Structure 1
Amino acid sequence: MTSLVAFFLLTFAISWAPWPFGIFLPCGPLVAALIVAAATGTLRDLGRRMIRWRVPWYCYLAAIGLPLLVIVTTAVVHGGADWSLAWGDVTLLFLLRWVNPLDGPLGEEPGWRGFALPRLDSRWSPLISAAILGAVVTLWHLPLLFLDEGNPIGWAGLPTTFVITFVYCWLFRRSGGSVLLVMLFHIVQGAIVPGTLGYDGGDTSDVLALGLVAWTVVALALIVFDRAAWQRPSPTDLTGRGVLTTPIVQP
């Protein structure tokens, strides 16, 4: 528990410290995870999670398909999208998000999912630990509402962050604790944004609001129709080799 608290405090300190200067550092979770993992001797565990690619095939389908499904559905429902995408720009953004620590996927996922979630799961049920993590991550994003530059998330951003955390946690557990898979999910989710489809102003807010509804439906569907993923596993399952859980990490 001590390492988890230290991670959360360090994450907020790193990311929020430059807030008075109009800067938010999204690499806070990554840096905090590396520091605390190194101090507690669990850095190797985190590294293994980041390269874990042998996962059930449906995890890849979910990591790519769910974000695209939400993007396309919300755009179709709203209407007025420009589908003549600059695929070269989208592809470049997709590749850059893998290696840019100042972007969400690499800056956040090793910390939130790779470090924090296994420790939460070792103490609470999967549903409760997802709710706790969702609340923490949502609070962490708060400065983005007040920044003029960067990537303000709009009024729908905070509740969407909370809801989508349940989807991230589901994918992480079903992939046997793979940070690589949740990074893929995060990358695809942000590769095509409302601006990419030609939305601006009020249309952007409307599309983000539709996205909140869509992700709420997805999260509820995963909870209702895949109940096994939200049940506390037996001790024999806590090995990191199954698809229902993530290994317990000590301390």
Structure 2
Amino acid sequence: MKGKSVTSATPLRHKSSLVVFGAVTFATSWGFWLIAIALGGSVKNSPSVIPYVLGGFGPVFGAIVVRVRRSRRRELAPAHTVRLRLSMRLCWVLPLLVMASATVLAAALLADRLGGPALSFAEGRNLISDIGGPVPFFVSMLVAGPLSEEPGWRGTAYPRLRASFGRLQAGLLLGVVWAIWHLPLFFITGTLQAGFGLISWNGVLFVLTVIPMALLTGYAYERAGVAASIAVHLGVNATIALLDVKSPVVLACIVAVQTIVAITLLAWQRDRGADLPVHADSHPRQIVTSSTEAP
């Protein structure tokens, strides 16, 4: 019996994959987080830390299911999937990480000038000491968010959204979904979100920070794949932790600065062909050459 040939995926199949990804991601994340809420206690020193951590990997579970499903159907990767050689990825990873961290630092300095809290790394040093040193801090920042989310949000959902939308629209749409995904964390004792409170300026501003973050990580993904989006996610999260960002003034400045930077980067990358969605009637060669990997 002859083996099945590899086929290109239609926009309908991309939408189907997005539905599957979303269903698995939300079901696993929210399911585990609801268990953490039911168990009670702080995630810092109770059994609820286990479902709390597992819930953070919901996007990875979603990505795995979509990858297995696509492999069984022997479909090509989405046209906007990005994978580069290791040397090319490394050329982008460090600059993008620095850029992401700089957006938070710039926002903190701006907030200081506007009457907000003074820029300080004192709480950050205490956090590193409490965790056990720089290496455990780095590992925890890398795993909790960047590694547990980016293979799903950017590596799986984003390329499929790009089949129908431009970079800005895809980033904004994914940002809204990403923000909604975080909501149960506001009800888990011991999380940053619970400390803010959902019905508060800090809670609202945290939700809003996810939108420009989605644009920045989407831009990074198109530059150098998942490694780059992980770097941006890591840079933002680690800097926020080191600065112990809790002031609504600082959070508002982060939203403003990152929005300006994201829009500027998207406007500066004036490759109009790269910004257009790829439809089913696109030239087959375009789909094959741009689809070097698929989650």
TM-score of the superposed pair, with normalisation by structure 1: 0.78
Q: Which amino acid aligns with 1:111?
A: G
- Corresponding residue to 1:147 among 156, 175, 188: 188
Flag structure 1 segments of 5+ consecutive residues without an equivalent. Answer: none
Indicate the residue corresponding to 2:10 in structure 1: none
Indicate the residue corresponding to 1:172 in structure 2: 221
Considering only aligned residues, what root-mean-square deviation do their CA atoms show, in Å?
3.3
Question: 1:52 Cα deviation (Å)?
Answer: 5.4
CA gap 1:142/1:96 in 2 versus in 1, 3 angstroms: closer
SS at match of 1:227: coil
SS at match of 2:191: coil
- Corresponding residue to 1:109 among 150, 160, 171: 150
CA gap 1:50/1:212 in 2 versus in 1, 3 angstroms: same
CA gap 1:224/1:40 in 2 versus in 1, 3 angstroms: closer
Q: 2 CA distance for matches of 1:151 and 1:63? A: 25
- Corresponding residue to 1:68 among 101, 107, 117: 101
CA gap 1:19/1:92 in 2 versus in 1, 3 angstroms: closer
Indicate the residue corresponding to 2:138 in structure 1: 94
Flag structure 2 segments of 5+ consecutive residues without an equivalent. Answer: 1-14, 38-50, 113-117, 197-202
Q: 2 CA distance for matches of 1:106 and 1:50? A: 16
SS at match of 1:81: coil
Q: 1 CA distance for matches of 2:181 and 2:244? A: 29
- Corresponding residue to 2:60 among 26, 30, 36: 30
CA gap 1:199/1:164 in 2 versus in 1, 3 angstroms: closer
SS at match of 1:155: helix
1:115-151 residue CA offsets vs partner (Å, 9 max, x unmatched):
1111111232233222221221111112223333223
CA gap 1:61/1:18 in 2 versus in 1, 3 angstroms: closer
- Corresponding residue to 1:3 among 1, 4, 17: 17
Q: 1 CA distance for matches of 2:84 and 2:75? A: 13
1:156-194 residue CA offsets vs partner (Å, 9 max, x unmatched):
11111012211111111122xx21111122112212225
CA gap 1:10/1:57 in 2 versus in 1, 3 angstroms: closer
Could you tell me the percent identity over the aligned residues? Answer: 25
Q: Which amino acid aligns with 2:217?
A: Y
Higher relative contact order by CA 8 Å / sep ≥ 6: 1 or 2?
2
TM-score of the superposed pair, with normalisation by structure 2: 0.68
Equivalenced residue count is 236
Q: 2 CA distance for matches of 1:219 and 1:163? A: 7
Question: 1:213 Cα deviation (Å)?
Answer: 1.1
Indicate the residue corresponding to 2:3 in structure 1: none
1:94-130 residue CA offsets vs partner (Å, 9 max, x unmatched):
23444x3xx1111110001111111111232233222
Indicate the residue corresponding to 2:252 in structure 1: 209
